[in-house]
Structure 1
């Protein structure tokens, strides 16, 4: 069965309002010296700019972008439409249209073309996506070269070591122990005291448990 056509009250009201506004714009353009097809083109131009500005507003709102320009052109088209409706309500003598109104009507095509071009061809820029920073393993980059140390070569990158309940249970790579021994010898030569686990941890940049395990192997 074919669907039954049911008139929508809102649609009917929109058609009536659009027809009246269209006629008012035509009458005003004709009174301002635009005759023939030109007088009929003015209502189309005003309504198209109004629709284009409204569609642009919805697009900018969806993209969370500034919509000041779209609001400006929407206001211009709305003022032109409302102005024509009010002017033809008897407040203006259409047989003696003032010069300023003739100038506005004559300059409307250029203004509408500019507004439509800016609304259509202005791109919406999305905010740049920020890539998340990669997690940095403090143990893998724990080798720190002490300034003035005899060995200026950096210690090799070490794999991540799971923390254990006791420092002695940690498996310390031999390369890290050798580097820690150089740091400890340099500290003893400069201060005359044996390096403590806290200072060793700060120099090497390792977790506290690993620093204690290294200090225990240094003896």
Structure 2
């Protein structure tokens, strides 16, 4: 199996050249601002990494104020170093404000990288799935009522009840049995009724009498009948 030929991408070559030039400008500016040795090489790495992190946040999570803010800060730092090293500043005598900015950059870049890596992203909720319409119920067919033979109405039909026949008489209600009440209980009930009438000015009713004596309802009715 033949290996694919190595193809040179012009865009990639251009990106490598631009990155190398920007890297060199940031290194020269940091060295001129008093950051010598390995520290001067760390500055361009810090600026480029913050720029890449902000751009990745914009690509993956969508536009946000946080990502755009740190992207612009890193882009200004990179462009500022490129412009400053083009002869606009005397790198042998860097002004104090530029030394302050270069010295404060590590803390600023650390804060930006931490916020981009650990801040929560607010995603828009997914649109709800379209609801499937419920199937229409099938029409119900009511069965036809079976033919029912017409029955004579005993009220309206004069043939239903013969004139000669009379409705049966209802049985006579039997008298309720007399409940025997002890005389001592009747005397006690009179005292309770007299005390109630003296306190309230009204005669005692059957429910109150039953509650005061603690007797069943039928016995209270029999006692009340003897008090009248």
- TM-score bracket, normalised by the shorter chain, equals 0.5 to 0.7
Aligned-partner SS, 1:33? coil
**Gap runs ≥5 in structure 1:** 137-159, 172-219
Corresponding residue of 2:86: 89
Pairwise CA distance, 1:126: 3.0
Pairwise CA distance, 1:7: 1.3
In structure 2, distance between residues paired with 1:76 and 1:68: 12
* 1:2 maps to 2:3: yes
* 1:122 maps to 2:123: no
Task: Note the 1:1-219 alignment, pairs <5 A.
Answer: 1-61=2-62, 67-128=64-125
TM-score, normalising length from structure 2? Answer: 0.56
**Gap runs ≥5 in structure 2:** 144-228
Name which one, 1 or 2, has greater alpha-carbon Rg.
Answer: 2
In structure 2, distance between residues paired with 1:52 and 1:28: 22
Pairwise CA distance, 1:170: 6.0
In structure 2, distance between residues paired with 1:38 and 1:50: 19
- The structure where helix makes up a greater share of residues is 1
In structure 2, distance between residues paired with 1:14 and 1:128: 37
In structure 1, distance between residues paired with 2:48 and 2:8: 23
Aligned-partner SS, 1:93? coil
In structure 2, distance between residues paired with 1:88 and 1:59: 34
